[in-house]
Structure 1
């Protein structure tokens, strides 16, 4: 389990948090902030509300992981159609409320595959990566994601170490990082260019 400091529920990240983890990874704070900027936007918020990390329930991931846990997708679609529909913001009041409605419905069928099928927190790490984040279970992973932004940062650091991503952040090789972090579609979404621009912005504001 990542070694996060004692944290109250959904504590916001501080500059000290960024500096400590950046020092552990031997990377610049601006480089970490660049990733957050692309994954969760300029507000840099990891939470929707207290105890509820920002999530993105990914149906394609669910279709892969649910059957591995014995879920019959045809039966699931009939009983819980909300899982298979686009987030209904009008019905639930917000994007995050709609995403949680899908997650909670999927959890009624199978808890583990539902949690594994979401991207979590300010770094949008897939729940299926819980082992690579140093956790003993997907439940531990989600408990940390739902506890504080510092925990989310620690999980990101653990994930980067496990996947040999630190060297790309250190070199500001945003194409190399985005390919491995966001997948082969990164060029279409211009993630590498957006991260490069975000890094320059944060490096300039920090005087680097």
Structure 2
């Protein structure tokens, strides 16, 4: 799965914000019909308006920088400084700070364009399990969704974060909360048990979730 065309980037950014085509059209000052045509591959004179509405530059919306591949066909590591980020496992995420310096292109399941501004160490993950599923509400994260995680952002109460708990190799995905100097992780699924757990031991916040992609 990749986002390689202008139309796909527009759609990806719109869906990451939870907007309908009509909502994007309203934000950009153009019609829903125009947005629908653009997402089907039609040309537009409104790139600047759409980019501003989506919070990116026109250049970012028009495409990533040219990439180079080695003889093996693998993506060059320098792409981590551009717009492609690695799709990795929850185990890799749990050890991200330790493995980053030795991370190689072949270590990732895929390299995906992140259509929002992000730090150079950003990665993405498949959502696993139902703990962050919150049907009928936003945000909600379903199994198979792909979340983009920026380790360079400082976690604030209310942020969704990827965390490695003490003595666990895999990282977990929850909402981060603070109260009276205490720290908690909260599941968005109202039926999940336990819904809230206190971080009473060592925990490493691997990064803050900055958006998601919903594959079809």
Same fold (TM over 0.5): no
Larger of the two Rg values belongs to structure: 2
Give the TM interval when normalised to the shorter protein.
Answer: under 0.3
Structure with greater strand share of residues: 2
Please report the TM-score for the alignment, with normalisation by the length of structure 1.
0.24
Larger RCO: 1 or 2 (CA < 8 Å, sep 6+): 1
Q: Under a length normalisation based on structure 2, what TM-score does the superposition of the two structures give?
A: 0.23
